[in-house]
Amino acid sequence: MTFFGSKTHHLKSSNFILSLLDNHQCLTIPHLNQIQSHLITSGTLSDTYAVGKLVSAFANHPTHLSHAYKLLIFSPNRSNYMWNSLIKFYIDKHEPIKAISLYKNMISSGSFPNNYTFSFVIKATNDLCDLPFGIMLHAQSIKLGWENYDFVQNGLIHLYAMCNAVNSSRKLFDVSAIKDVVTWTAVINGYVKVGRIGDARKMFDEMPDRNVVSWSAMITGYAQMGFFEEALEVFNDMQVNGFRPNHSSLVGALTACAALGAFDQGRWIHAYVDRNKMELDVKLGTALVDMYAKCGCIEMANRVFEDMPSKDVFAFTSLISALSNHGQSERAIELFNRMQREGVDPNGVTFICVLAACSRMGLVDKGLQIFKSMKHRYGIEPGVEHYGCLIDLLARSGMLQEAAQLVRKMSVKPDSYVLGALLNACREYGDVELGEEIVKHLMEQGLDYSGVHTLLSNIYASAKKWDGVMHVREQMQEKMVRKVPGCSLIEVDGVVSEFGAGHRYHKRMEDVMLSLLQMDKHLQSFLLDHNFSLGSCT
């Protein structure tokens, strides 16, 4: 293909043609081919400005990026504008690898990047979270004198923050001459990402100006780190300060409402979404489904789910989990089947939820079928949580030996959940020997927490082996094992309060139980020593 011809005297028409390229989005490929032919015959294509315009025009059509690349490569005078146009288009088309590859070609061809080049390539590197390449770009920008330009410096701050190098991000931020709200928010997001929520809040409080994105970053950060009450406090402060919540802040606040059971506030957010006619996208819709489900409103969760214009695996999984957890296992399994019919592939969490539903209904054959389909149909390797659900299903159905055999054949090391499910079945069916074997495995793994000792004690008690009960209680006392006190949450007028059982009460109850067991042991010894039997006391 020949792109370049000799110069002619059609400058007037060429200028008109170039003006057409300023509005290249309205031009079709046949039009662009005609323009290229005219520029070749007029000789204008030897001009870097003209080639740059044409490269940009062809690059705007995704199917002709390769043609734009050929124009660039065959041009005798390549300008930064030409390189930058094509690099930017690859980034806009979410192809960061191609953008970086083009940047490397630019360097190897002897062209020097400018501040725009660096800002584009840093964005591509951030999309890939390629920290080593980002450090190399930082060094090159210093060498070529572009580091202090706003777009370059902000890009590097954001790159370091998103690649878990928040200390480097903060150092650049501190020496930056121009700090806008985007720069502040980038560092706050970096702190949140590595779990330094205190540093994020300190920086948030020091911000001279805030926008809805910075407020959302703080709300989302608190919610992700489990500081749900703080997330709702910031959400309320955001509105007091005159900022209207966006999708991100609403999702963060709904996550906090779901965790706290703050139904009134969650319902208010739903009303806000409806009142402002906000798009019920996948993230916001799934957050509403999860909030209603965890607050016990399954039908409202289902209604929101059906109102969502599009549903992904997370939306389906959220409702399947809700139905399963609220005793509607049959509906959960039907929704799982519908999910497959609609072409949405389940993920690992989906299988945990649907296997739990099978376990609650005792559907052994269905559970085994679903478990096998994980690997054979969807290529998902079962994890310890999936084995735990299947073992719980078998154990609940009285198939203790089959469950124990599965534990021994597991491809992953069994954890406390797996062994705990089997241990609980041992209590229910009175299998003392298997229960003792499981507890031994748990103790070897250092997983003999209070619940394990309590279950073993209950197994002994079900079998009327009081010596075993006494031995377990003595072990708990020796190891200073205490039952974790329960707690409850209650929402009153939008305020969530937590109530926990007193530690003294639990200690006193354990002491009473231990005293009774000791009395029972001494009574048995006394009766045996004096040749009494319990039957002779009638």
Taking only the tens of pLDDT, the chain with its 538 residues reads 444 444 444 444 455 555 655 555 556 667 666 666 666 666 655 666 666 677 677 666 655 666 777 777 666 667 787 888 888 888 888 889 989 998 998 888 888 899 999 999 999 999 998 999 999 999 999 999 998 888 899 899 999 999 999 999 999 999 888 888 989 999 999 999 999 999 999 999 999 999 999 999 999 999 999 999 999 999 999 999 999 999 999 999 999 999 999 999 999 999 999 999 998 999 999 999 999 999 989 999 999 999 999 999 999 999 999 999 998 999 999 999 999 999 999 999 999 999 999 988 889 999 999 999 998 999 999 988 898 888 888 888 888 788 888 877 777 777 767 777 777 777 776 666 676 666 666 665 555 555 566 666 667 676 666 766 676 676 666 665 555 555 565 555 555 555 555 544 444 444 545 554 554 544 445 444 444 433 333 3
Q: How far is CA 487 from the centre of its chain?
A: 27
- Residue 261, judged by CB atoms within 10 A of its CB (0-12, 13-18, 19+), counts as middle
Q: Where are the alpha helices (DSSP H) in 22-114?
A: 29-42, 48-59, 65-74, 80-92, 96-108
Report the half-sphere exposure of 87 (CA within 13 A, side-chain side): 26
Distance of alpha carbon 159 from alpha carbon 249, whole angstroms:
23
Paired residues of 489 in beta bridges: 498
For residue 499, the model assigns a pLDDT of 58
CA proximity to 246, closest of 205, 267, 216: 216
Distance of alpha carbon 363 from alpha carbon 354, whole angstroms:
11
Q: How far is CA 374 from the centre of its chain?
A: 21
CA proximity to 68, closest of 37, 113, 32: 32
Paired residues of 487 in beta bridges: 500
CA distances from 71 to 44, 64, 81, 83 (A): 14, 11, 13, 11
CA proximity to 316, closest of 338, 300, 294, 297: 338
CA proximity to 322, closest of 339, 308, 305, 345: 305
Q: What is the DSSP string of 146-206?
A: -TTSHHHHHHHHHHHHHTT-HHHHHHHHHH-S---HHHHHHHHHHHHHTT-HHHHHHHHHH
Do residues 122 and 96 touch, judged by C-beta distance below 8 A? no
Q: CB neighbours of 467 closer than 8 A, spacing ≥ 6?
A: 521
Structure tokens at 379: 């290529």
Paired residues of 497 in beta bridges: 490
DSSP tag of 114: -
Does the global pTM surpass 0.85?
no
Q: What is the DSSP string of 211-273?
A: -HHHHHHHHHHHHHHT-HHHHHHHHHHHHHTTPPP-HHHHHHHHHHHHHHT-HHHHHHHHHHH
Q: What is the DSSP string of 458-473?
A: HHHHHTT-HHHHHHHH
Q: CB neighbours of 491 closer than 8 A, spacing ≥ 6?
A: 260, 261, 262, 263, 264, 265, 497
Using alpha carbons only, give the angle 424, 428, 429 rounded to the nearest 5 degrees: 115
Distance of alpha carbon 440 from alpha carbon 477, whole angstroms:
18
